[in-house]
Amino acid sequence: MVSIGAATPQAESEDADEPKPVVVYCIIGLGNPGLRYEHTPHNIGFRVIDELARRHGIAVKAREGAAITGGGNFGGRKVMLVKPQTFMNDTGRAVTSLMQVYGLGRRDLIIVHDELDLPWTGLKIREKGSAAGHNGVRSVIAAVGTMMFTRVRVGIHPDHDLDDPAVYVLAPWERAMRDEVDEVAGYAADAVESIVAEGANKAMTKFNRRARGTREEEE
């Protein structure tokens, strides 16, 4: 297992010539830091990172810039799991900082985030696309300078209309959805593992789904 830990400024100056670990994929779950937001739909990306960390025995606790990270292996492929510690609309700052440190390109990124345009328990993998109103994805696009990166969009729209979507995504999970959160996070984690093992195109054919048909996706 590879350990990708945080480097202090002193360590960076002393080990300037030491190469950084090779990272095949940087898997970034979007969310807001702090206990207040832990059990909310907007933080489903963090839940997926937690599930991947549990499965692969990765400790996501090293502080690197504006994120906490943990490095390990998925089937022999070196990965880094990331939880940005900025708020959602500043996620791009945490992402680009890690890209610069580890020499990552857009093809090395997998962004996992909540998606109101998909129904609850739905999921869609995409290799490009607009932010579709998601502030975290918008921030990443602006910082990276392209829409061409892989994202795993986890549907969070409940089976009823929303009076205020902005309030909904930051409120605790509705009672009817709480028992399914772990299952949904597990399915999304399966999809991420498939991307790492087989590539996004093959993963799409296996995992893209619209559950319950309650809402059409906006392309």
The DSSP secondary-structure symbol of 133 reads: T
Pair 65, 94: CB distance under 8 Å? yes
Longest CA–CA span in the chain (Å) reads 57
d(CA 79, CA 102): 12
Residue among 134, 160, 159, 158 at smallest CA distance from 147: 134
Strands (DSSP E) contained in 75-127 are 77-84, 109-119, 123-126
Helix, strand, coil abundance in the chain, percent, nearest 5? 40, 20, 40
CA-angle at 92, arms to 134 and 17, nearest 5°? 155
Is-catalytic flag, 157? no
Cα separation, 74 vs 196, in Å, equals 7
Return the HEC string of 159-188. Answer: CCCCCCHHHHHCCCCCHHHHCCHHHHHHHH
Dist. CA 124–CA 182, nearest whole Å: 17
Catalytic hit among 42, 113, 134, 157? 42
- By annotation, the residues acting in catalysis are 42
